[in-house]
Amino acid sequence: MTGSSATFGAQMRDGAAAAVEAINASGLLPDHAKVVLSVVDDACDPRQAVAVANKLATERVLLVVGHFCSASSIPASHVYAEAGIVQVSPGSSSSRLTERGLETIFRICGRDDQQGIVAADYIHAKHTNENIAVLDDKSTAGKGIADVVEAQLHRLGREVSRQSYIAGEKDFRALVSRMKKDRVRVAYIGGYHTEIGLFVRQASEANANFVVMANDPLMSSEFWAITGSAGNDTLFTFMADPAGDANAAGVAATLKASGLSVEGYTLYAYAAVQAWAEAVNRSGSFDAARVASALRSRPIDTVIGQVRFDKKGDNTASRFLVYRWRDGHAERVKEY
């Protein structure tokens, strides 16, 4: 709820709270049990995430909807797995999260090795014979997806220059100047919306004619608040936006009536709670192993559509699309 990604924590909190209210009203759970929501904060800090995870394990919670940052989810997931707690992350896309054989660990979003390939393929198809730079913020998620994009571009026969900056950086003028000197035309950035927004704004101020593409944290109105019109035509990848889907219409209307946003990860957090509740209902148990087995057993209908978890805990129904910012709104790039 704090730190540079606080906006995504708020989205997840709002989505989870709405789902808990709906499930409690429905009487879906065995013996009409009620869910109590507890909100905790890791500030996207791995050490704080482990402390939070240990606290939740001591409290014997049944479900963790989170974490957002992969750098937090990965170490915390070991605690949850050992404690017999189901974790369903709405936003941790690092491929490493589900590659360790942890039975009770799931994600409802997609993986970076999917997202990065979509981005690289788009750049290759739309920007032939143009100089490409791949940047990252040295974070688990940012570097991870930048590595995927770079590797895929190499497989496609493209040359790439690689740059890094430190998460929290505010002054990108020297980096922009260096990239202009190198005649970079396309800049892919793996990181978070605050720094990417500052990069885009400062590149515009320097009259750098970069095509900027980034990863899923750009699905936040805070990006546009930083860039203003300089953010026009900034590209990014995100999952299919369920807000306008028939499955989500009622939930979206309820959230909006309460003054809450449905952007970003709100409905993905709602779906995470839905999926867990349906698995509890199917298994007739709150036991983590039985719930995990039920989550994998067959598809589950949720507010974001049908969810299908594989052996690793990945949602195989998730796919990434290309979006662009235009006049304060994120819109689907329909030609791709």
Q: Is residue 135 part of a domain?
A: yes
Q: Is residue 185 part of a domain?
A: yes
Q: How far is CA 135 from CA 94, 212, 230, in A?
A: 17, 10, 19
**Is the link from the previous residue into 67 a cis peptide, with omega within 30 of 0?**
yes
Q: Is residue 314 part of a domain?
A: no
Q: Are residues 184 and 326 in the same domain?
A: yes
Distance CA(59)–CA(80), nearest Å, equals 12
Closest CA to 328 of 225, 188, 179: 225
Q: Are residues 248 and 130 in the same domain?
A: no
Q: Are residues 324 and 229 in the same domain?
A: yes
Q: Are residues 40 and 128 in the same domain?
A: no
Closest CA to 234 of 119, 318, 83, 139: 119
Residue with tokens 């959230």: 255
Burial classification of residue 16, based on how many CB atoms lie within 10 Å of its CB (0-12 exposed, 13-18 middle, 19 or more buried): buried
Q: Are residues 45 and 105 in the same domain?
A: yes
pLDDT digits (tens, 9 = 90+) for 21-72: 999 999 999 999 999 999 999 999 999 999 999 999 999 999 999 999 999 9
The domain spanning residue 132 has which CATH number? 3.40.50.2300
Q: Are residues 28 and 60 in the same domain?
A: yes
Q: Are residues 232 and 138 in the same domain?
A: yes
Q: Is residue 1 part of a domain?
A: no
Q: Are residues 214 and 185 in the same domain?
A: yes
Residue with tokens 């941790």: 92
pLDDT digits (tens, 9 = 90+) for 97-155: 999 999 999 999 999 999 999 999 999 999 999 999 999 999 999 999 999 999 999 99
* Contact between 26 and 213 (Cβ < 8 Å): no
pLDDT digits (tens, 9 = 90+) for 239-257: 988 877 788 889 999 999 9
- Tally of structural domains, the chain: 2
Distance CA(145)–CA(334), nearest Å, equals 23
H helices of the chain, in order, are: 6-26, 46-58, 70-83, 112-126, 140-155, 173-181, 193-205, 221-227, 249-257, 266-283, 288-297
pLDDT digits (tens, 9 = 90+) for 209-239: 999 999 999 999 999 999 999 999 999 999 9
Q: Are residues 182 and 222 in the same domain?
A: yes
Element (H, E) at 168: none
Name the residue range of residue 325's domain: 113-239+320-332
Q: Are residues 202 and 326 in the same domain?
A: yes
String of DSSP letters for 229-267 = GGGTT-EEEEE--GGGSGGGHHHHHHHHHTT----TTHH
What's the pLDDT at 336? 64
Q: Is residue 312 part of a domain?
A: no
In sequence order, which residues have a C-beta less than 8 Å from that of residue 198 and are 6 or more positions away? 169, 170, 172, 226
Distance CA(73)–CA(112), nearest Å, equals 14
Q: Are residues 205 and 327 in the same domain?
A: yes
Q: Is residue 59 part of a domain?
A: yes
The two tokens of residue 129 are 């014979």
Whether residue 329 is predicted with pLDDT greater than 90 in this model: the reply is: yes
The two tokens of residue 268 are 């993905």
Q: Is residue 313 part of a domain?
A: no
- CA atoms in the 13 A half-sphere facing the CB of 61: 21
Q: Is residue 204 part of a domain?
A: yes
Q: Are residues 164 and 252 in the same domain?
A: no
